């Protein structure tokens, strides 16, 4: 079956530190890959995505590259800010067997806390 494995948290960093959150996946077929972020008290928001191998998704200083050979989609940011404190979810999607909507399979999430 399809699954996503994320680096376990919580992760605590000082402001301006480098961030890496590891994500690997198992999937049949060719998934699209996503990072969602959940700020305190808010719903999940799409942070970035990549739809095919070697694509790089980027947004708000975050980046992740779709690595088919290692089945990975690690999230990175060069200099984190206090406002980046949130829970980060890696996810994949594959087409449903019926219809064109795509089913999301999520990892368990990684809590990031950035200290000033």
Restricting to residues 91-110, which ones interact with other proteins according to CB under 8 A? 91, 93, 96, 98-104, 106-109
Interaction of residue 7 with other proteins, rule CB under 8 A: no
Positive or negative: CA dihedral 92, 111, 46, 104? positive
Of 70 and 97, nearer to other proteins (C-beta) is 97
Which CB sits closer to other proteins, 99 or 116? 99
| Distance of closest approach, residue 87 Cβ to other proteins, in angstroms | 9
Closest distance of CB 109 from other proteins, Å: 5
User: Whole-number minimum distance, CB 18 to other proteins, in Å?
Assistant: 24
| Ranges within 21-60 binding other proteins (CB under 8 A) | 36, 41-46, 49
Burial 3-13 (b: 16+ CB within 10 A, else e): ebebbeeebeb
Residues binding other proteins (CB under 8 A): 4, 36, 41-46, 49, 89, 91, 93, 96, 98-104, 106-109
């Amino acid at each position: 079956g399809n699954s996503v494995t994320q680096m376990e948290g919580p992760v605590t960093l000082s402001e301006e530190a480098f961030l890496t959150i590891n994500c690997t996946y198992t999937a049949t077929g060719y998934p699209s890959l996503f990072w969602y972020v959940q700020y305190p008290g808010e719903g999940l928001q799409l942070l970035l995505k990549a739809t095919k191998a070697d694509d790089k998704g980027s947004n708000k200083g975050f980046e992740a590259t779709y690595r088919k050979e290692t089945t990975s989609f690690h999230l990175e940011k060069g200099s984190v800010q206090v406002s980046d404190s949130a829970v980060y979810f890696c996810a994949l999607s594959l087409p449903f067997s019926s219809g064109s909507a795509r089913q999301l399979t999520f990892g368990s999430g990684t809590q990031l806390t950035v200290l000033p």
